[in-house]
Amino acid sequence: MSEPLGSGQRIEAHGVLLRPFRLDDVEDVAAGCADPLTRRFLDGLPDPYTLADARRWVTQGASAAFASGGAAYAVADPATDRLLGTVGLSHPVPQRGQAEIGYWVAPWARGRGVATAATRALSGHAFASGTARLELLTRVENTASQRVALAAGFRPEGVRRSATPVRGGDRRDLTVWVRLADDPPGPSPRPLPDLPDGRLADGVVVLRRLGPDDTEQAYRLHSDPEVVASRVPPGAPAGNEIERRCQGAENQWLVGTAAAMTILDAVSGEFAGSCMLLPDQPASDQAMLGYSLLPRWRGRGYATRAVRLLTRWGFDHVGLSRLWAGTLPENAASQRVLEKAGFRREGLLRGRLPGAAGSRADSTIYGLLPTDPMA
């Protein structure tokens, strides 16, 4: 076995070993950094990534990270000592007691909680060494990394727009996740839990999380004239707007701002529409819901079924105390859906919504409590 290179002490915690890199890690570093998933979110890696690049990292790059006030550890299996990935600290701001934490996991080690364990281990070491605040930055679409952040106790703080360059000359937003030295131990709370088994179903319709693969169908839905007329304000969306919405849907779910779902036909699996639960007043355990169907699926009770499934999930799993929905006064079909799902008409808010050409539109408000008979 070769001798360790660079600086840094060994840290063993949460089922992983953080240790200095060694020359016999070179092949595993090269394989991990050449993996397509690793490369997708680490745009600064050489292209292609070679054994020479890996050797340069092991012999020079890791030790340079320590010399600059950061850290770069090999994440290893405590039993076999084989490399599972890397974890490190960068961009230190000593006067703020702040640093940025990052990681990647090799293909042969994924699905075992390695990234979460390594992040927890290095975070604990950093806090014990005097760091007060750690930031973890992820691309909006990198939801696997965001789940690691939550599991390691980091909390969402917002989005840095166009904060990182990517291959091809474009730029992407970064979501910001932060853990403080005095934050409580354990994972961060999730305002919106995952769906049980990834879906809600009643034998006729199925609800599942909206995702990037739904972009084409979602654009078709939101370009339908009736759906366009009920938008606020009315108007057809741009294609890139729908694409961003579908790509960012899981991120919105993880940070707790919206749970966007597709409505599928349970028999054929075809896309029928979409629905959403939006916690607009989280402090009072209240959320709004909305829904739209493609013309082919209207008049079959699908919207009512979707609203009922969404309602049960909101009360039973999210822990909401009130659900509400608004419709345009002339949208009788949507009002019938809400009434069949147990919602009660609560009133009319005059001029609540922006309308076409600078006008204002009224909104008919419906509400549902978990103690209502049909809830």
Single out the residue in 180, 206, 240 at which a domain terminates: 180
* pLDDT tens, residue by residue, 74-115: 999 999 999 999 999 999 999 999 999 999 999 999 999 999
Q: What is the pLDDT of residues 13-68, one digit of tens each?
A: 999 999 999 999 999 999 999 999 999 999 889 989 999 999 999 999 999 999 99
Q: Is residue 191 part of a domain?
A: no
Q: Residue 300 falls within a domain, yes or no?
A: yes
**Helix spans in the chain (H):** 26-34, 36-41, 51-56, 62-67, 114-128, 143-151, 215-222, 225-229, 239-247, 249-255, 302-313, 332-340
Question: Residue 244 in 3-state DSSP?
Answer: helix
| Residue where one domain finishes, among candidates 117, 151, 180 | 180
Cα angle: 362, vertex 229, 233; to 5 degrees = 60
Please indicate, yes or no, whether residues 205 and 158 belong to a single structural domain of this protein. Answer: no
- 2 lies in a domain? no
pLDDT in tens, 104-158: 999 999 999 999 999 999 999 999 999 999 999 999 999 999 999 999 999 999 9
Asked whether residue 162 falls in the same domain as residue 246, the answer is no
Return the pLDDT at 224: 92
Whether 3 maps to a domain, the answer reads no
Q: Domain range spanning residue 234?
A: 196-368
**Phi, psi torsion values for 229, nearest 5 degrees:** -65, -25
Give the residue from 35, 128, 39 showing the smallest Cα distance to 83: 35
C-beta separation of 18 from 7 below 8 A? no
* Of 20, 25, 111, nearest in space to 73 by CA: 20
Assess contact for 67 and 13: CB atoms under 8 A.
no
pLDDT tens, position by position, 306-315: 999 999 999 9
State the Cα–Cα distance between residues 183 and 194, nearest whole angstrom. 24
| Inter-axis angle of helices 114-128 and 143-151, nearest 10 | 50
Hey, what are 206's tokens? 């199925």
Contacts of 168 (CB under 8 A, 6+ apart): none
Closest to 339 in 3D by CA, of 311, 367, 306, 297:
367
Please say which residue of 138, 155, 180 terminates a domain. 180
Identity of residue 137: L
The answer as to whether 188 is a domain residue is no
Q: Retrieve residue 130's tokens.
A: 């005097």
Same domain flag for 104 and 33 = yes
Domain count of the fold of the chain = 2
Same domain, 139 and 209: no
Which domain CATH number covers 226?
Answer: 3.40.630.30
The CA distances from residue 124 to 101, 153, 180, 270, 271, in Å, are 12, 11, 10, 47, 45
Contact 289, 275 (CB under 8 A): yes
Predicted TM-score (pTM) of the model is 0.91
* Residue 22 contacts residue 86 (beta carbons within 8 Å): no
Report yes or no on 5 lying in a domain.
no
E strand or H helix at 349: strand 344-354
Helices 332-340 and 302-313 pack at an angle, to 10 degrees, of 50
Asked if 209 contacts 251 with a C-beta cutoff of 8 angstroms, the reply is no
Q: Are residues 165 and 211 in the same domain?
A: no
Say whether both 173 and 210 belong to one domain.
no
Amino acid 8: pLDDT: 66
- Convert 236-272 to b/e letters by CB count within 10 Å (16 or more is b): ebeeeebbebbbbbbbbbbbbbbbbbbbbbbeeeebb
Which H or E element spans position 274? strand 271-281
What are the C-alpha distances in Å from 62 to residues 32, 72, 182?
16, 5, 29
Is 187 contained in some domain? no
Regarding whether 114 and 216 lie in a shared domain, the answer is no
Asked if residue 43 and residue 16 are part of one domain, the reply reads yes
- The pLDDT tens digits of the residues spanning 251-281 come to 999 999 999 999 999 999 999 999 999 999 9
Strand partners, 18: 11, 75
CA proximity to 62, closest of 22, 33, 34, 100: 22
Are 211 and 257 in the same domain?
Answer: yes
Q: Flag whether 279 is in a domain.
A: yes
Same domain, 17 and 65: yes
Question: If you write DSSP's letter for every residue of 69-99 in order, what string do you get?
Answer: T-EEEEEE-TTT--EEEEEEEEEEEGGGTEE
- Give the pLDDT confidence of 190-236 residue by residue, as tens digits: 999 999 999 999 999 999 999 999 999 999 999 999 888 888 778 88
Verify that 18 and 159 share a domain, yes or no: yes
Same domain, 106 and 155: yes
